[in-house]
Chains A and B, each alone.
Chain A
Amino acid sequence: MARRYSMVAAFAGLIVAIQLATHFMDASYHLTQLTMTAYYSLLIIGLCMLIGYAGQISLGHAGFFAIGGYVSAFLTTHNLSSYKGGAFASFLKKSGALVGRPDIYGGELLTVHPLLACVAAILLTVLIAYLIGGPVLKLKGHYLAMATLGFGIIIYRIPLGTTFLGAADGISDVPGFPLAPGVVISGASSLRVPNYYLAWGLVILGMALLLNLVQSRVGRALAALHGAEDAAGAMGIPTARYKLNTFVLSAVFASLAGVFLTHYNGGIGPSEASVMKSVRYVAIVAIGGMANLWGALLMSLVLNYLSLRGYFGTYDDTVFGAILILIMLFAPDGLLRRHLFTDLKRLVSREPADEEAP
C-alpha cells in the first residue's frame, strides 16, 4: 500500500517539475496542451481499467467522451431566457439551477448551471452505458470490439446530423466550470497555471481511486474473470455484473473527461466523437502495457502532448494506427507490461547462448 501512494507522490512531483520547467524556460503556453492532455488521460486510465484489468475491449469510448462534452456544452449554452417570465424558470433561477450571464449582444443569456449540466451528462452516460453494455458485454474478443465500434459510429453521427448540437461546427462559447468556490475550469490564459494543477489533480485523484480498486476484492475478481471467466463464475463472482460495472465506470471517466475538457476548451466539435479518437485511446492503453495504469498514464502524457502540440503533423492518426499495429504484432500484451524487465533480461541472457551454436 505504501508503494501505491509513493508512486502517486512521485507522479505529483513529475507534474510539478513539468510546470516549473515550463516556467523557467518561459514556455508556459505548453501548459494549455498539457492541461488538455490531463483530461484525455482521465479517459485513458478509465479505459485501461476496462481493457487491461477486466479484459474487455471498447472501440467506442470517444462516444462516451462526446456524450459528456455535448450534454454539458448544450445545457450550458442553450438560451432559456424566453421562459424567464414563467414561475418555474424563476424558481429554478432563484435556486441556482439556472444562471444568467450577458451575451455578446448585451442581452441576457439564461442557461443551466454547469454543475447541474455535469450531473445530467453523467446520469445520461450511466444510463446509456448500462443499456449498451448489458447486451454487448455478452460478446467476446473481436465481436465485442465490432459492437462497441458500431456504438462509436452511431454517437459520432448524432452531433454531425443534429442542428441544435451545431452539426459539423460543434458547440462554442461554453462557459467555465465552477468546480468549487474560487476554482474554475477555464481556458482563460490568466488561469493557465491553476488549471494545469487542477486538471492533473483530478487525474491523480482518479488514479488513486483506480489503484485502490485494482488492489481490492473487486480488482482480484476482475483479474480472475480476465484469466478464466468460467472459473471466476464457479467461485461465485457475478462475472456479467462485474464486467458491466467496470464498463460503466470507465464510461463515467470518459464522460467526465469530456465535460471538463469541453469547459476548458470553451467548446466541442464532432471530431471528439470520431472513431479514430477511440482507436487512439486503445492504442495508448496498449502501448502503456494493458494491465498497467501507470504505463497507460505515462504514455497518455507523452503521446497526447506530442499530438496536441502538432508534432505528428498530418500523420497524427497514422501514428496511433501504426502504434496499434506494431503492438499487436510484437507485444500483444502491451509494451510497458509488468514483466517487461524480466523478459528483457531473459532475452539478453539467452542471445549469446544462441550464438554459440555452430
Chain B
Amino acid sequence: MTLLSVREVSKRFGGLQAIDDLSFDVAQGSIKALIGPNGAGKTTLFNLISGSLEPDRGEIVFGGAAVHDLSPDRIASRGMVRTFQHIRLFPKMTVLENIMVGRHVHSRAGFLAGMLNLPFTWKEERRIREKSLEILDLLGIAEHARTEASSLAYGQQRVVEIGRALACEPKLLLLDEPAAGLNMRETNDMGRLIEKIRDMGVTVLLVEHDMSLVMKISDEIVVLSYGQKIAEDRPLSIQKNPEVIRVYLGDDGC
C-alpha cells in the first residue's frame, strides 16, 4: 500500500530547476532512501514534502489526501514528521522536555486551559511525561533525561531529535542525513535504530550520503540528479545501474 506519493512535482528557484517533474511512491512499512550527488535537489525535495516549500507544479499525496499546500505544522499533525540535516533541538530545554514537545499533536490543552491549570491538563501532562520517558528508554538515553539538550554529544543529539519525532507517533518519518557527522560505530547504531523504527510500523524516507548505510538498510532507493529521477530500484540493482555509476563517478573513461 502506498503511503506517500510524489506526483510530477516541479520546483524552480530563479534560473535553477531544482526539482524537475519528479514522481515516486513510498510503500507503507518500508525504508526508502533518496540519494544523489550534491545539488541534486534532495533537500529541496524534503522541504517540499514536509511543507516548508510549495511545489510550482504537481502534487504530493499523503495517506490519500493532497498535502502540498498545507503548512509544516498541519502536515506534522497528519503524521508526517521530519528531522533536520543540521540538528534542530530546542537548546535550552532538557532532553525530556524536547521529547515532550513531540507529544504536542497528541495533546490538546490550549491557552485558557493552561492558564487556569484545569484538572484535565494534569492527567494530560502526566501521560505526556510517561510516554516521553518510554521513548527515552527505547532509545537508551534515559539517563540524560534532565540534561540540557545542547550539552549532549553530537551523536546523542541526533538520537534525541529522532526521539522527538517518534514522540509524534508519525506514520511517516523523514530523516534528513541521519548519519551526517556520526562516526562509524554511531552510524551502525543509527542504521539499527532506523530498522527498529521500521519494524515498529513507521515508514521511513531518508536522504543520506553514507552509501554503506543506505545499501544496508533501504528497501528501495531513488537516485536524483539535477532534480530528475534517474533510477528507482532495490539496493543491489542500484549498485549495478550504469546511469547511477555515471552520475556518481563521471563518464569520461574511468
List the interface of chain A (C-beta within 8 A of B): 209-210, 212-213, 215-221, 223-224, 227-228, 230-239, 245, 249
Chain B contacts with A in 69-124, Cβ cutoff 8 A: 71-74, 76-77, 81-82, 84, 88-93, 97, 100-102, 104-105, 107-111, 113-117, 121, 124
Which B residues are in CB contact (< 8 Å) with A218?
109-111, 114
Given contacts A216-B109, A217-B104, A235-B81, contact A210 B91 (CB under 8 A): no
In the assembled complex, 14 residue pairs joining A and B whose CB atoms fall closer than 8 Å, in A order, are A216-B113, A217-B107, A217-B108, A219-B114, A220-B93, A220-B104, A223-B93, A223-B97, A224-B101, A227-B89, A227-B91, A234-B73, A234-B88, A245-B111
**A233/B93 in contact, CB under 8 A:** no
Number of A-B contacts (CB under 8 A): 103
Q: A231 contacts B113, CB within 8 Å?
A: no
Task: Judge whether A216 and B117 touch: CB under 8 Å.
Answer: yes
The 5 closest A-B pairs by CB, nearest first: A216-B114, A236-B76, A227-B90, A236-B105, A231-B88
Which residues on the A side are within 8 Å of B125 (C-beta)?
216-217
**B76 A231 Cβ-Cβ under 8 A:** no
User: B77 contacts A231, CB within 8 Å?
Assistant: no
Interface presence of B42 (CB below 8 A): no
B164 interface contact, C-beta 8 A: yes
Is the contact region of chain A dominated by helix, strand, or loop, or is it mixed? helix
**Which A residues lie within 8 Å of B110 (CB)?**
218
Contacts known (A209-B116, A216-B109, A220-B100); A228 close to B90, Cβ less than 8 A = yes
Q: Which single residue of chain B is at the shortest CB-CB distance from A238?
A: B73
Docked CA distance A234–B109 (Å): 19
CB distance from A284 to the nearest CB of B (A): 22
Q: Which residues of A have CB within 8 Å of B52?
A: 230
Q: Is B128 an interface residue (CB 8 A)?
A: yes
B residues 34-77 touching A (CB-CB < 8 Å): 50, 52, 71-74, 76-77
A217 and B167 alpha carbons, distance in the complex (Å): 14
Chain B nearest CB, measured from A228 CB (Å): 5
By the criterion CB–CB under 8 Å, are B101 and A212 in contact?
no
